[in-house]
Chains A and B, each alone.
Chain A
Amino acid sequence: MKFTTLLKPSMSMLEALSVSVTGIIIVMIILALLAVMVVILSKAIRAVENKAKNKTKSTEKVVETELPEKKAPNGSPLPETQSVGSLDLYKTDEKTAAVIMAIVSEESGIPLNRLQFNSIKLIEE
């Protein structure tokens, strides 16, 4: 399309339609291109990050095997399944409380036996 024809005080409907169709197609193409670039970049970055993570993990393993047997600073550590403290539930059933605690543990990356919940309360709107 010759855009020089548009440089007039008035415009025919056909020209206007042509500008509109071209415009929406261009916006679509550019944003689609960006979406493709985002996908490619995300994959590349995640691949690099995963590689780096694996490398760190393997280094940690090596260090662990090289270290002498660990001793807990204050007595023996808590077993994986053991927990401490008491939990007050307000208008919350045990199942929901368990799910909430599991989510908090997962999101924070802290094992459940290292977290202490005092109470879980339902907030009514």
Chain B
Amino acid sequence: MSIINALISLFQESGFAYLAWQNWVMIIVSFALLYLAIVKKFEPLLLLPIAFGMLLVNVYPEIMYDPLAIATPGGQVIDASAHWYDSGVLRLIYCGVKSSIFPCLIFMGVGAMTDFGPLLANPSSLLLGAAAQLGIYVAFLIAIATGYVPGFEGFTPLEAAAIAIIGGADGPTAIYLTGKLAPHLLGPIAVAAYSYMALIPLIQPPIMKALTTKKEREIKMEQLRTVSKAEKIIFPIVVTVICVLIIPSTAPLIGMLMLGNLFKESGVTDRLSDTAQNALCNIVTIMLGVTVGATAEGKTFLDVKTILVIIIGLIAFSFSTAGGVLFAKLMNIITKGKVNPLIGSAGVSAVPMAARVSQVEGRKYNPSNFLLMHAMGPNVAGVIGSAVAAGFLLSTFGKLL
């Protein structure tokens, strides 16, 4: 009898007994994401830790346990004697996301990896990076409009702003802004942002094709001029001063991005540049990926709002791509046929996938065409554009916090 009792007790304590159906659904979703990361190699460096974090939190929700969680909207604490160190291990690491440290450090790594040369050689590509933020504002409108659907409470302006940033196609920026404005939506927004970034080669080409003619896609662009070392060193300093003075809330993102870039371009901090773009970036990516994935706990993740976030995110991505392509078409008209509109889609800041898509699509229609370097300009401009857009949304809605 005692063996049976022990087995019953073991079963009652096991995950099979206490997991809800939502957890099982999310476990299956995590398997699908792991498959995409490992077999299909869709952004594996991000998707794999996110998927594994999702798996961990759904087989063992306590790993994100927060003893200091607020029980009621009024602010009543569940257990006054609780300590922060009683938290689940992933909850502790998650502090780096909540405090915005991780997204900012990742931005520093991105800066250290980025070559702004193509952008400096062709400064008009900055405008493409701005135009490709269109999806952010379309998504914001759609998120607000859901409030007018009968029977649905809709999204608050803070939530709408956080959802909208998915259109920037920039993971760290999306996490940074959502962590500030609507932390409860961090899971769905991060998953949507990174999933769509991974799916860029599938999402963008049909839109690029629909908005351009065959003749436009075949346009060969002139070779870019060489950019001097001095230009590359001065650029991050100028961007920091201008952007932060105009919108101070961009300081954490733009500041860290440009600091990383200055490490790289100055030529006197090779060790710092190496650490920022390799060791540090990799460590932070692991911690950020796993903990963001761990916010997707089935019982809180699976609801109508999450599905809407995923749908609005896709619309945002599509409009951002369209915004970039349409603006590139306009530039092509103004320059009398010197700009291939396919480079416009790279204005969504997913570096360097979006630029690669422009290159691949361009070569499909003209095998002697090399658009990669031309597309890198709008691509890195998109990183600045999405950070500026996030800063604008933060300065507009941050007052509610």
Q: Which residues of A contact B (CB under 8 A)?
A: 3-4, 6-11, 13, 16-17, 19-24, 26-28, 30-39, 41-42, 45-46, 48-49
Inside 8 A of A35's CB, which chain B residues have their CB?
123-124, 126-127
Contact A39 B157, beta carbon cutoff 8 Å? no
Give the Cβ gap from B139 to chain A, nearest Cβ, in Å.
Answer: 9
Q: Which residues of chain A come closer than 8 Å to B242, judged between CB atoms? A: 30, 33-34, 37
Identify the interface centre among B235, B243, B392: most chain A CB within 10 Å of its CB: B392
**CB-based contact A34/B384 at 8 Å:** yes
Beta-carbon nearest neighbor of A6 in chain B: B157
CB of A9 within 8 A of CB of B141, answer no
- For this complex, 12 residue pairs linking A to B, each with C-beta atoms less than 8 Å apart, are A3-B399, A4-B399, A6-B396, A20-B141, A26-B247, A26-B392, A31-B127, A33-B242, A34-B126, A37-B242, A38-B123, A42-B231
Q: By the criterion CB–CB under 8 Å, are A38 and B120 in contact?
A: yes
- Say whether B230 contacts A45, CB under 8 Å: yes
With both beta carbons as reference points, the residue of chain B lying nearest to A125 in the complex is identified as B367
Contact B234 A20 (CB under 8 A): no
Instruction: Tell yes or no: B131 within 8 A of A by CB.
Output: yes
| A residues less than 8 Å from B228 (CB atoms) | 45-46, 49
On chain A, the residues within 8 Å of B381 by CB distance are: 31
Q: Is B105 an interface residue (CB 8 A)?
A: no
CA distance A28 to B144 in the complex (A): 23
Q: Which of B157, B230, B393 contacts A11 (CB 8 A)?
A: B157
Chain B positions within 8 Å of A31 at CB level: 126-127, 129-130, 381, 384-385, 388
- Main secondary structure on chain B at its contact with chain A? helix
Residues A23 and B399 in contact, CB atoms below 8 Å apart: no
With A20-B141, A23-B392, A45-B231 as known contacts, state yes or no: A32 contacts B130, CB within 8 Å. Answer: yes
Flag whether B138 is at the interface (Cβ < 8 A): yes
Task: Identify whether the interface residues of A are mostly helix, strand, loop, or mixed.
Answer: helix
Which B residues touch A9, using CB under 8 A? 156-157
Judge whether A28 and B238 touch: CB under 8 Å. no
Q: Provided the pairs A13-B145, A16-B140, A17-B141 are in contact, do residues A7 and B247 lie with their beta carbons within 8 angstroms?
A: no
State which residues 99-145 of B face A: CB under 8 Å: 119-120, 123-124, 126-127, 129-131, 133-134, 136-138, 140-141, 144-145
Given contacts A6-B397, A28-B131, A30-B242, is CB(A38)–CB(B235) below 8 Å? Answer: yes
Contact of B137 among A3, A7, A10, A24 (CB under 8 A): A24
Question: What is the CB-to-nearest-CB distance from A4 to chain B, in angstroms, rounded to a whole number?
Answer: 8
With A3-B399, A9-B156, A34-B242 as contacts: A27 and B392 at CB distance below 8 Å: yes
Interface centre among B123, B234, B393, B396 (most CB of A within 10 A): B123
Q: Give A26 to B247 CA distance when docked, in angstroms.
A: 10
Q: Select which of A4, A10, A13 is within 8 A of B156 by beta carbon.
A: A10
Within 8 A of A (CB), among B281-329: none
Q: Once bound together, how far apart are the Cα atoms of A6 and B156, in whole Å?
A: 10
Q: A6-B397, A16-B141 are in contact. Are A27 and B133 (CB under 8 A)?
A: yes
Complex interface: chain A residues within 8 A of B138 (CB): 20
* Chain B, range 249-275, C-beta contacts under 8 Å to A: none
B29 within 8 A of A: no
Closest to B241 in A: A37
> 3 closest Cβ contacts across the A-B interface?
A20-B137, A16-B144, A31-B130
Q: A7-B400, A34-B384 are in contact. Are A13 and B133 (CB under 8 A)?
A: no
Say whether B134 contacts A24, CB under 8 Å.
yes
A121 to B228 CA separation, bound complex (whole angstroms): 33
Nearest-CB distance from A38 to chain B (Å)? 4
Nearest-CB residue, chain B, relative to A28: B130
How many Å from the CB of B128 to the closest CB on chain A? Answer: 9
Residues of A within 8 A of B82 (CB): none
The answer to the question of B389 belonging to the interface, with a C-beta cut-off of 8 Å to chain A, is yes
A3–B127 Cα gap in the complex (Å)?
26
With a CB–CB cut-off of 8 A, which chain B residues contact A27? 130, 133, 385, 388-389, 392
